[in-house]
A and B are shown apart, each in its own frame.
Chain A
């Protein structure tokens, strides 16, 4: 039977004894890898066997187990999730890395201790985002009327000016609404992180760090907050996730300073 010393890394936990999570890991040698821990002091790396020579592509069949393993680990302990794609060449390499960064790892474990990540995306459910923003901004509407309301065709410069103002107002509207939403969640979350919205109709893309015990209250709060917004705002939440957005950890050679 082929064996490898290579280990795929899912995340880091606090543990004093070995944990076996079963065969739920990335495929290795034709079957799902057994997920277990590599210990050093009171830290554990959650791993499964994986050859560093094996191709590892960011495909769904690889990405899903990464996430599912973290979900399973999170059921019992706090985990600092690794980004997809880390393969160590040996247990010793993992131990060395954990030892070298034990202080930083502990700090991150403390930061997310007992918490889960919840995602919230808010979108404008409108046919035309342009019409919508023109509808909420008088200055933009006035400029549009001025430029397009004449018999002569608007110049390229005028169109650019209008385009710039549109983008400015679109982003301003996003910022305003994001601030408002973050304010409304203040009492329910430990931390919040807003990502840059992708797509023109996206208002905000926020990750929240929520105490495990406060998860239900948080979900109820989503409905309250959504209820405070007009009908064209669609609230879409996801989770619980491992606290991907709330770890700031680089286990590289020079990162210990």
Chain B
């Protein structure tokens, strides 16, 4: 399931990197995508860690990260608050 087509790639033309470097690349690529892209829940706070935007948002869903725990402020209302029912307003 993981890393399909590696054998095919490794056997192909010289300007395509080796199997081992493909594996390393794949990890970086995973990081780039999984941490930076995709659907999110209300990014009212975006924190950048080493150039990677991590999200922390309260209300409905919780997003945790190294940085948010470092910055954890127990005095501030946070995600552990129960979400108030959203106003059902449709324009």
Contact = CB atoms under 8 A, between A and B. Distances in A.
B60 A253 contact: yes
A238 interface: yes
Contacts, number: 151
A174 B31 CA distance: 24
A48 B37 CA distance: 20
Contacts of B43: 250, 252
Interface in A203-257: 219, 223, 226, 231, 233-238, 240-242, 244-245, 247, 249-255, 257
Nearest to A249: B39
Interface residues of B, number: 47
A82 B33 contact: no
A71 to B, nearest CB: 6
B86 A82 contact: no
A143 B17 CA distance: 36
A55 B38 contact: no
A134 interface: no
Contact of B41 (A80, A81, A198, A252): A252
A18 B56 CA distance: 30
A56 B65 CA distance: 7
A93 B79 CA distance: 13
Contacts of A71: 1-2
A188 interface: no
Contacts of A63: 30-31, 34-35
A255 B30 CA distance: 27
A60 interface: yes
| B25, B37, B44, B86, most chain A CB atoms within 10 A | B37
Contacts of B57: 252
24 contacts: A11-B38, A52-B79, A57-B64, A58-B66, A63-B34, A64-B30, A82-B39, A83-B35, A85-B55, A86-B61, A87-B62, A87-B63, A88-B62, A89-B62, A93-B61, A97-B41, A97-B61, A198-B51, A223-B13, A238-B25, A240-B4, A242-B33, A247-B38, A257-B91
Interface of B: 1-2, 4-5, 12-13, 15-17, 22, 25-27, 29-44, 51, 54-55, 57, 59-66, 69, 79-80, 83, 86, 91
Interface of A: 9, 11-12, 52, 55-58, 60, 63-64, 66-68, 71-72, 80-89, 93, 96-97, 100, 108, 117, 119, 121, 195, 198, 219, 223, 226, 231, 233-238, 240-242, 244-245, 247, 249-255, 257
